[in-house]
Amino acid sequence: MTTTLGPLPTDRLRRWAARIGESIATPLVPSDYLDLIDPLRTTAKLRGRIVEIRPETRDAVTVVITPGRSWKGHIPGQYVRIGVDVDGVRLWRTYSLTSETTTRDISITVKAIDGGKVSNYLVRRATPGTVVQLEQATGDFTLNTGTEKALFVTAGSGITPVMGMLRNHLDQLDDVIVVHSSPTKSDAIFGGELRMLARARHGKIRLIERHTTIDGRLTPEELEELVPDYADRETWACGPGAFLDALEEHWDDASRLHTERFRTSVAVTGDGGAVTFARSGKTVEADGSQSLLDAGEEAGVIMPSGCRIGICHGCVVPLREGTVRDLRDGQITSAAPGDGVLIQTCISAASGPCDIEL
Ligand SMILES: Cc1cc2nc3c(=O)[nH]c(=O)nc-3n(C[C@H](O)[C@H](O)[C@H](O)COP(=O)(O)OP(=O)(O)OC[C@H]3O[C@@H](n4cnc5c(N)ncnc54)[C@H](O)[C@@H]3O)c2cc1C
Ligand code: FES
């Protein structure tokens, strides 16, 4: 449940009264009343309250959140799963933390993508006061201790985890090159802050900006020209999957290249088929490149989810019958009636008819 607390006490009272009215029809348990009064209390499920939404570019904002008292903090570069209610449906997505670790509030920076449910909600509709669901921070896209010579290669919203590292580890980094790609100069998220850092820390931080509308998409070969000593640097890269795949292929020493992906790279597509969501009573035709998670959501089925890229296991459900294919490597999983084999819907596509326990 996303609860929005308006700025005026009268509004708040009206909403509380409405909630209590609702409770006559739907009995509340004591914790529901406590949620109305103090949704961020230590014993409640971890939540946060949006306290500020700051524009970064024409389609990206920074959302500042006061987390509940059980928030355990984060390591720069990590991400948080956040649950928001969009048009009455709870949707979970993952966002890198961009805030300094010393502040009580945390921040994420979200870029609206075409047709994106949560990103557009956060960029265009969410307001300060909105209460969101949170999970503890996680992820291993973090700086190694002792790194002095670093290369960050980012594109679009891929700058977010790197900004988290730069804001927190500046004193540790003596020789940093940031290569950042965006469609234009004004589309560069944190462009102003990065340019200011490069000026203020001249000799320690070098910023190389690429604007794809003029320069085209960056290739590993061009990166090598821009940063001739790239192989001597510990590198963190975040951007489109195809670009990260190309970097991974190009890098001789894979242990010195760290990548963070915001979506699954679809490597193999299958046959597709009719997907039945047994408990919801819905059947949809899904093609072999569409995840079962996307197919279910499109059909209006309430699908559990999290990172949507196969990391968190927040989307695991039983496959009652049928065959699915892992979009990352083509691996096939089959279930005979009654098997209830567990599958991750975010990285599985139908390979023939299948029946999901949802
Ligand atoms: C570890 C991790 C960290 C992330 N950090 C950030 C971050 O800091 N800032 C940020 O803006 N996003 C970040 N993301 C991406 C974010 O979790 C969502 O995937 C993104 O906001 C889209 O969600 P949506 O609900 O708007 O789109 P959906 O409604 O889920 O999807 C709408 C359409 O867009 C496509 N799509 C989904 N995700 C993307 C994407 N990332 N790029 C392009 N097309 C997409 C879908 O295939 C679908 O066709 C991160 C993801 C991961 C896994
Ligand atoms: S949603 Fe995270 S593994 Fe599927």
pLDDT tens, residue by residue, 198-234: 999 998 999 999 999 999 999 999 999 999 999 999 9
Position with higher pLDDT, 87 vs 342: 342
Nearest CA residue ID for atom 50, ligand 1: 262
Query: Closest by alpha carbon to 335, among 343, 349, 323?
Result: 323
- Does the pLDDT at position 33 exceed 70? no
* Ligand 2 neighbour 313 (Cβ under 6 A): yes
Per-residue pLDDT band for 83 (boundaries 50, 70, 90) equals very high
Q: Is 314 touching ligand 2 by the criterion CB < 6 Å?
A: yes
- Provide the CATH topology of domain 273-356: Ubiquitin-like (UB roll) (3.10.20)
Q: Which range has the worst mean pLDDT, 7-21, 169-183, 213-227, 265-279?
A: 7-21
Q: How much is the pLDDT for 274?
A: 96
Residue 48 has phi, psi (to 5 degrees) of: -145, 160
Q: Which ligand is nearest to the CA of 63?
A: 1
346 lines ligand 2 (CB under 6 A): yes
**CB 160, CB 180: distance < 8 Å:** no
324 CB within 6 A, ligand 2: no
Residues making up the chain, counted from first to last: 358
Please work out whether the CB of residue 110 comes within 6 Å of at least one atom of ligand 1: yes
For residue 62, the cross-strand partners are: 54, 109
Residue whose Cα lies nearest atom 35 of ligand 1: it is 116
Measured from the Cα of 347, ligand 2's closest atom is 4
Q: Where are the domains of the chain?
A: 14-38, 47-134, 149-260, 273-356
CA 304 to chain centre: 15
Q: Calculate how far, in angstroms, residue 193's C-alpha sits from the geometric centre of ligand 2.
A: 33
Residue 292 has φ and ψ, to the nearest 5°, of -65, -30
Q: Which CATH architecture group holds 149-260?
A: 3-Layer(aba) Sandwich (3.40)
At residue 3, the pLDDT reads 41
pTM: 0.85
Backbone region of residue 309 per phi and psi (left: phi > 0; alpha: psi in -120 to 50; beta: other values)? alpha
CATH number of 47-134: 2.40.30.10
Helix (H) or strand (E) holding 299: none
Domains 47-134 and 149-260 belong to one CATH topology: no
* Distance from residue 356's CA to the centre of ligand 1 (Å): 24
The pLDDT of residue 19 is above 60: no
Pocket perturbation via mutation, ligand 2, pick of 309, 317, 356 by most ligand atoms within 8 A of CB? 309
Q: Is the pLDDT of residue 269 over 90?
A: no
DSSP per-residue codes, 217-265? ---HHHHHHH-TTGGGSEEEEES-HHHHHHHHHH-S-GGGEEEE-SS--
Calpha distance 74→97 (Å, rounded): 8
Ligand closest in space to the Cα of 310: 2
Q: What is the pLDDT of residues 43-53, one digit of tens each?
A: 678 999 999 99
Of 356, 237, 214, 213, residue with least CA distance to 291: 356
Atom of ligand 2 nearest to the CA of 92: 1
| Strands in the chain per DSSP E | 47-57, 60-67, 79-86, 89-96, 106-111, 131-134, 149-155, 175-182, 205-211, 234-238, 257-260, 273-277, 282-286, 316-326, 332-335, 341-344, 348-356
The tokens of 97 are what? 């933390």
Pocket flag, ligand 1, residue 190 (CB < 6 Å): no
- Mutating to test ligand 1, I would choose from 94, 165, 243 the residue with most ligand atoms within 8 A of its C-beta, which is 94
- Quote the ligand 1 centre to 20 CA distance (angstroms): 36
What is the pLDDT of the chain when averaged over all its residues?
Answer: 89
In this model, does residue 8 exceed pLDDT 80? no
